[in-house]
Amino acid sequence: MTASHDLFDRARARIPGGVNSPVRAFSSVGGEPIFFEHAEGAYMFDVDGKRYIDYVGSWGPMICGHAHPKIIEAVQKAAAKGLSFGAPAPGEVTMAEMLCEMIPSLERVRMVNSGTEATMSALRVARAATGKDRFIKFEGNYHGHGDSFLVKAGSGAQTLGVPTSPGVPAALAELTLNARYNDLDSVRQLFDAYPDEIGCVFVEPVAGNMNCVPPQPGFLEGLRQICDEKGAVLVFDEVMTGFRVGPTGAQGRYGVIPDLTTFGKVIGAGMPVGAFGGKHEIMKLVAPEGPVYQAGTLSGNPVAMAAGIANLELLREDGFYEKLEARTKQLADGLKQAADNADVPMATVAVGGMFGYFFTEADEVTNFEQAAACNIEHFKTFFTEMLKAGVYLAPSAFEAGFVSSAHTAADVTETVGAASEVLKRMAG
């Protein structure tokens, strides 16, 4: 019996499914979740004392590695001054200035406490700005667990959205339209089917919730053009890509400027933080400047702001992203080579500090259908065997992986070495 197992037993008695967020339960890979005791740099250590090279990074925030001394110091200093004021404090001003300076489209930004809050709020503002309730999102993109986003495509093209979860009212789900990622025609068809009814388009500019699927050349540009033509608000959900695929987010990397952007993860360095922002023209609708209600007791929390600011400062150091990108590419290329050597069909991809690997015969994956068609049994075996070898990968085939600046070339070499062994066994 392991300490993890004992904790999971206790957890199941008091927490639904034993976890506070479903993907942690390992339901799609089998087995029991691991409980962690501490983490440092590129490593996490479980409650039984085993070390793992971590490629989840708390699902993205730990871009500088775990427990970075400068971030911990900033948090400790801020905590000593009081945990929350529920009133304005200097950190939130600095954070807003840094975000607006670094992200091309931001003129105004509002802090919230999670990515989910950021997207829910951005959707409300976009609907208010256009007076139109319907919006488009993409199959396989994830925007948190707000009701309007938990909606899948109905059967057949152009049908109304249906809830993916009980408790989401069908009347609300009907307003959510699903298009195909990397397919501009599917977007145009929806605008044709609902002329003058669609207020905004939500997109992950690099999809990180159906594994890692970059935009095809012209896709984001096309969305910008369609939204301009139709008077719709273009929202980039950069909760994952913000400060992850480069210092200016996906919008800077691909040179496409959205009207609104949502953030989370990296800007909080692991503290509960999110943000949404954009042009003043739209953001001036947000209360108290405007009529769109949005609020939060802990929003702009001084400890969270201190962590986020320290993180953003580290990202501004010379060569940060070049090194991160090179390391991520080393990993993606290494995995691909290992799979080729073992004759296991695999496609890999790297964008900034994000990566993906697909068990597929295809050269690349560009949408959800293709991601869903990958060999799930291969994924499960690979995940489980890598875990045994001390490599912690995302416990779902539909999640991107994350590299941090703390991962060394030696960590990646160790990872690829373990992958080679696992893949050879899978082939044999």
Q: How far apart are CA 424 and CA 428, in angstroms?
A: 6
| Residue 345 CB partners (closer than 8 Å, separation 6+) | 339, 359, 360, 361, 375
Q: Which of 43, 52, 142, 254 is catalytic?
A: 142
Look at phi and psi of residue 86 and say left if phi exceeds 0, alpha if psi is from -120 to 50, else beta. Answer: left
User: Residue 252: what are its φ and ψ, rounded to 5°?
Assistant: -75, -40
Minimum Å gap between C-beta 114 and ligand PMP is 4
- In whole angstroms, give the CA distance from residue 359 to residue 157: 28
| Residue of closest CB approach to ligand PMP | 115
Structure tokens at 249: 């987010």
Neighbours of 32 (CB within 10 A): 15
Q: How many residues bind ligand PMP (CB under 6 A)?
A: 16
Give yes or no for a contact between 357 and 197, defined as CB atoms under 8 angstroms apart: no
The binder of ligand PMP chosen from 46, 139, 204, 411 (CB under 6 A): 204
Within 256-383, strands assigned E span 260-263, 274-278, 347-351, 354-358
The verdict on 114 binding ligand PMP (CB under 6 A) reads yes
Among 41, 115, 199, 308, binds ligand PMP (CB under 6 A): 115
Task: Find the angle CA(319)-CA(320)-CA(326) to the nearest 5 degrees.
Answer: 85
Asked if 385 and 422 touch (Cβ cutoff 8 Å), the reply is yes
Regarding 116 and contact with ligand PMP (CB under 6 A), the answer is: yes
407 belongs to the binding site for ligand PMP (CB under 6 A): no
Residue 289's Cα: distance from chain center in Å? 30
The piece of 29-37, 109-117, 166-174, 385-393 that touches ligand PMP (CB under 6 A) is 109-117
Q: Which is nearer to ligand PMP, 256 or 416 (CB)?
A: 256
Residue 413, token pair as written in the block: 């070499």
Triad 39, 399, 328: Cα angle to 5°: 65
Q: Does 211 bind ligand PMP (CB under 6 A)?
A: no
Shortest reach from residue 9's CB to ligand PMP, in Å = 26
Q: In the annotation, is 137 catalytic? A: no
Shorter beta-carbon distance to ligand PMP: residue 276 or 379: 276
300 sits near ligand PMP (criterion: CB under 6 A)? no
Beta bridge pairs of residue 261: 236, 277
Q: Is 119 in the site for ligand PMP (CB under 6 A)?
A: yes
Q: Is 194 a known active-site residue?
A: no
Which phi and psi (to 5°) does residue 193 adopt?
-70, -30
18 in contact with ligand PMP (CB under 6 A): no
Reported as half-sphere exposure (CB side, CA atoms, 13 A), residue 115 has a value of: 22
Using CB under 6 A, pick the residue from 143, 224, 329, 378 that binds ligand PMP.
Answer: 143
**Residue in 132, 230, 265, 336 annotated catalytic:** 265
Judged by beta carbon, residue 226 or residue 354, the one nearer ligand PMP is: 354
Note whether 264 binds ligand PMP by CB under 6 A. yes
By the rule CB under 6 A, 176 interacts with ligand PMP:
no
- Site for ligand PMP contains 398 (CB under 6 A): no
Q: Is there binding between residue 139 and ligand PMP (CB under 6 A)?
A: no
How far apart are CB 196 and ligand PMP at their closest, in Å?
Answer: 28
| Binds ligand PMP by CB under 6 A, chosen from 35, 59, 276, 355 | 59
User: Among candidates 101, 52, 1, 7, which has minimal Cα distance to 393?
Assistant: 52
Q: Active site includes 185?
A: no
Catalytic center residues: 142, 237, 265
Residues that bind ligand PMP (CB under 6 A): 59, 114-116, 119, 142-144, 204, 208-209, 237, 239-240, 264, 274
